[in-house]
Structure 1
């Protein structure tokens, strides 16, 4: 055998060994992950939480209950949880109807939004174009969803989203909110790279959302109108707004990065809609990349990952007074939704 052939034979053997080792590692990791998911979850469960005021959320406790939609009593957030059959990435509810965004893993991964009744049966569903990111359910039965998508020509230099509003029966109300007329200081503009995300509903036609154009270097809070199909900007620098129960304030994540920093550092903030004054809640120093929810008119809820436990998150509570430090409200949880009555 020639030296050249010998070298190629040796390379082939080395490649086979590497591939075999890689295959063994991947197989081992898959088996380990499946075993972890099948292991018993170490949480206290109950069977009557959903009958009263509660907080619904996605459980992130390791084991067989990971990803399952669960609930804790509103007056005992760290207490026993009732576990439902639903598995969701993001969830929102009014106590009777629940919207669930989830990932369908397989040979080809797909994404979907589902509307569930109080027996956790699917009453409507529609496909999502990408990774589930945000969802909100209005009292009038409107469902807003935001997904990260690919395929837009500007995606190479940033991210792209698709945000839509459906009725609870699955019928489309808005189409892509990017197609709404965008008015900035009364002037109509149409930047090709605009993105819309983080809807929160005020009533059956009015909502608030974030609109961004990276080419213009602008991120706005906008008030949307489903009938007029318009987005009217109100303020710069507001991401993922969330309307308070009394309708007077918006909680959002404020970019508090240091000058010259390349990546955002999001800090919770509250906007008074009457005065348009913003209070940055400096009690939280960590990076809060979530759409904040309101526990009540005085307290915010949001999820944060555990640094030492990949995949596990906790829901934290932060007073909206701007002076108090946050505390863990619901351990091993994500995507909280409050049912008060």
Structure 2
């Protein structure tokens, strides 16, 4: 063991004994920087070469100086060289003209931020964000942004969690908290105190969206209307929906009878009501994205000590194939067609 390594180990032991949490974080970050410096660089191309092409935008998860930055690969070659931007995000989503980024400002007291970057505009627009980032989506035309965060302070969450989901109209900056919408369940308007909403996905008509509605210890797929400010429950055991490009299917994660925190991906045919649970032996805790009308992509942690190096997987939406890795060392994919 080198002298530097022995010194770092001694400092960590002393800090743990003294309860020096903040200083310990600094030491851990120092170790991460050393690992990043030693990591091999991935093949890369310029952002300019991809920003006008069909592409997959994602959070770069390759350990190194670009970890956490927004990156992209050609839609025609997902395993090819990536272009990495200078923007760091925990969650990212993109359209052909806009990028929604949820991230942290760092420092001793972490603060969270949401920004929308529009091509042709000099500086990003900041959106209100309360709590830890969880989900991010833009409407297909880039007119609306949806953010979901985990928050604390609600009286009913002593043993659970609470979310805030806000849809922002980017033309005027107005925001709509989904807790203010009228919730219709089994034909009746309800207003449960423990209601939570998360994971918005937008339809192409500029008004309809789908979202998870949770209350009474049950999660529901709900359809929303921005103009009517309503949410209507449709189906139980469905979380983090994602609408297919042609608008005919919704994919989501579902728990069924498994333990809490263990989900599989399912796809619902909106016309027939037929649900297909997709193959795969690992829990998927992500809001899936559609690669096209026939395939889905989502993020999963890496193996063992490489859990932070997440990968993006692909699977057939009709359940006819096993999932496989599509993009190594990536997270939070968004397909820009």
Q: How does the TM-score come out when normalised to structure 1?
A: 0.88
> Which residue of 319, 322, 326 maps to 2:316?
319
Deviation, structure 1 residue 161: 0.2
Bigger mean CA deviation after superposition, 42-51 or 130-139: 42-51
Deviation, structure 1 residue 41: 5.0
- In the TM superposition, 1:255-270 aligns within 5 A as 255-258=255-258, 261=259, 263-270=260-267
Deviation, structure 1 residue 28: 3.4
> What is the match of residue 160 of structure 1?
162
- In the TM superposition, 1:1-341 aligns within 5 A as 18-19=17-18, 27-38=26-37, 42-47=41-46, 48-118=49-119, 121-140=122-141, 141-169=143-171, 171-174=173-176, 176-202=177-203, 203-213=205-215, 216-258=216-258, 261=259, 263-281=260-278, 283-308=279-304, 309-340=306-337
- Whether contact under 8 Å (1:53, 1:74) holds in the other structure is yes
When the two structures are aligned, how many residues end up with a matched partner? 319
Deviation, structure 1 residue 321: 1.6
Distance 2:270 2:54 in 1: 28
TM-aligned CA distance change 1:207 to 1:239, over 3 Å: same
Distance 1:310 1:292 in 2: 19
Distance 1:17 1:156 in 2: 29
Deviation, structure 1 residue 157: 1.5
Distance 2:118 2:125 in 1: 10
Which of these two proteins has the greater Rg computed from alpha carbons? 1
Residue by residue over 1:180-204, the C-alpha shift from the partner in whole angstroms, topping out at 9 and shown as x without a partner, is 1111111111110100001001131
Deviation, structure 1 residue 73: 0.6
Q: What SS is found at the alignment partner of 1:128?
A: coil
Unaligned ranges ≥5, structure 2: 1-13
Deviation, structure 1 residue 110: 1.0
Q: How does the TM-score come out when normalised to structure 2?
A: 0.89
Residue by residue over 1:143-163, the C-alpha shift from the partner in whole angstroms, topping out at 9 and shown as x without a partner, is 000000111112212110000
Deviation, structure 1 residue 19: 2.5
Bigger mean CA deviation after superposition, 30-39 or 46-55: 30-39
Q: Report the RMSD for the aligned CA atoms in angstroms.
A: 2.2
Distance 1:16 1:223 in 2: 50
Bigger mean CA deviation after superposition, 138-147 or 114-123: 114-123
- Whether contact under 8 Å (1:50, 1:82) holds in the other structure is no
